Amino acid sequence: MIKPPHLMTLADLNVNQIQNVLTHALRLKNTSTAYLAPGSPRPINSRLVRGVPPQSLSHSSIALLFSKRSTRTRVSAETAAVLLGGRALFLGREDIQLGVNESARDTARVLGGMCQGIFARVGDHSEIEELAEHSPVPVINALSSLWHPTQILADLLTLHEEASFQVGQPIKAKTAFAVLPEIKPLTITYLGDSTNVLHDMLVTFPRLGHKMQVATPNDPQYRCPTPVWNRVKELGCDSGITWVEDPREAVKDADVVITDTWISMGQEAEKEQRLKAFQGYQVTEQLCREGGAKPDWKFLHCLPRKKDEVDDEVFYGPRSLVFPEADNRKWTIMALFDMLFGHWQIYDPKVIEQRQPKS
């Protein structure tokens, strides 16, 4: 029996594979956006034709196993599965027996016997590792305590689409088979808690030629956990990361400033302590001006956002890429669904183009 491919973190993919996912996501975005435009003709059947999203999940069901609530991840996954010709089954913590009368091992086997893929948003990372160990179909990590790979793919696609970061000739935005635009090496600043979002940045951005400057309070509970830092060093990413305490020092020469929640789900009891620890970390124009960020710096946030983390001037201002970033969750998840659930591997973009019908 062929062992199914799983994706727990972007540390599991090499640089070419990451670029391939992003390239395919852009192709799907361009194809699907034109296909979904008001007044656009719809095919009578699901026959794969040029101009129609690939129907790799035709007659397939994808289990969305969510033990934590979600907006972007859930809606992205459900709409992506539909565009690929399949159906997503949302399975919340109140819907199934997982964690009540059934183990993760048994749940993985049952879901894998009925569905063609599992997209799991869990608590502790060990939960998704157990699902992947026993699942007969591919498992993709939709979020765990340690990693959040689909979010960082969306961040990367957004950065590649940002015109001020691009080098060379711009792509033809409306071309279905456009290539991923090249961007310059960026200085990316992250301010705040060492969350799963940051962890996948640490194992990804330096390998793509970007420099990371991270500011967290000088307290072990807000620093990178050992299992994550071991992966960072294993991939040789540590040389591209600077870790400081002062947020002003961290934003020096920043092209991009990123933050995340200071109070993750399950940490509500620590709210007062955490707000005190992160005083001075709110992303503002003043902070970035005083710290010496680049004049045209941009802002990212995975959402949902609280005003303690970033003020309205930045969040809703011209520097903010948060809503294009949210939109791109759909296209990067769709790319992973097509590749891993539909074909059980990360295809090279040229191979994908070759299997498209001519008309």
Q: Of 24-38, 121-135, 176-190, where does the model show the most confidence?
A: 121-135
pLDDT of residue 172: 56
pLDDT of residue 92: 87
Is it the case that residue 174 has pLDDT exceeding 70?
no
What is the percentage of the chain residues whose pLDDT exceeds 90?
75
Query: Which pLDDT tens digit goes with each residue over 110-155?
Result: 999 999 999 999 999 999 999 999 999 999 999 999 999 999 999 9
- Residues near 255 by beta carbon (within 8 Å), at least 6 away in sequence: 165, 186, 187, 188, 294, 296, 297, 298
**Annotation marks residue 302 as catalytic:** yes
Measured CA to CA, the distance from residue 100 to residue 60 in angstroms comes to 27
Is it the case that residue 99 has pLDDT exceeding 70?
no
Is it the case that residue 43 has pLDDT exceeding 90?
no
Q: Tell me the CATH architecture of domain 6-32+55-148+326-345.
A: 3-Layer(aba) Sandwich (3.40)
CA distances from 144 to 116, 148, 197, 306 (A): 21, 7, 10, 21
Q: In the beta sheet, which residues pair with residue 212?
A: 188, 241
- Cβ atoms of residues 4 and 118 within 8 Å: no
Higher pLDDT, 78 or 272: 78
What value does the mean pLDDT take over residues 208-220?
95
**CB-based burial of residue 94 (10 Å sphere; 0-12 exposed, 13-18 middle, 19+ buried)?**
exposed
> Which range, of 57-71, 83-97, 102-116, 147-161, averages the lowest pLDDT?
83-97
- Cβ atoms of residues 198 and 214 within 8 Å: yes
Confidence of residue 41 (pLDDT cuts 50, 70, 90): confident
> Which range, of 61-70, 158-167, 262-271, averages the lowest pLDDT?
262-271
Q: Pick one of 3.40.50.1470, 3.40.50.1370, 3.40.190.10, 3.40.309.10 as the CATH number of 154-321.
A: 3.40.50.1370
pLDDT of residue 358: 47
Q: Give me the catalytic one of 115, 224, 237, 302.
A: 302
pTM: 0.92
Is it the case that residue 50 has pLDDT exceeding 80?
no
6-32+55-148+326-345 with 154-321: one CATH topology?
yes
CB neighbours of residue 187 within 10 Å: 19
pLDDT of residue 7: 98
What's the half-sphere exposure (Cβ side, CA atoms, 13 Å) at 129? 8
What value does the mean pLDDT take over residues 55-79?
95
Confidence of residue 267 (pLDDT cuts 50, 70, 90): low
Query: Which pLDDT tens digit goes with each residue over 222-240?
Result: 899 999 999 999 999 999 9
pLDDT of residue 211: 98
Query: Which pLDDT tens digit goes with each residue over 307-349?
Result: 999 999 999 999 999 999 999 999 999 999 999 999 999 865 5
Is it the case that residue 178 has pLDDT exceeding 70?
no
pLDDT of residue 357: 45
pLDDT of residue 182: 94
Cis peptide before 225 (omega within 30 of 0): no
Is it the case that residue 176 has pLDDT exceeding 70?
no
pLDDT of residue 290: 98
pLDDT of residue 354: 47
Edge-first strand listing for the sheet containing 256-259: 241-244, 211-215, 187-191, 256-259, 298-301
Sequence spans of domains, the chain? 6-32+55-148+326-345, 154-321
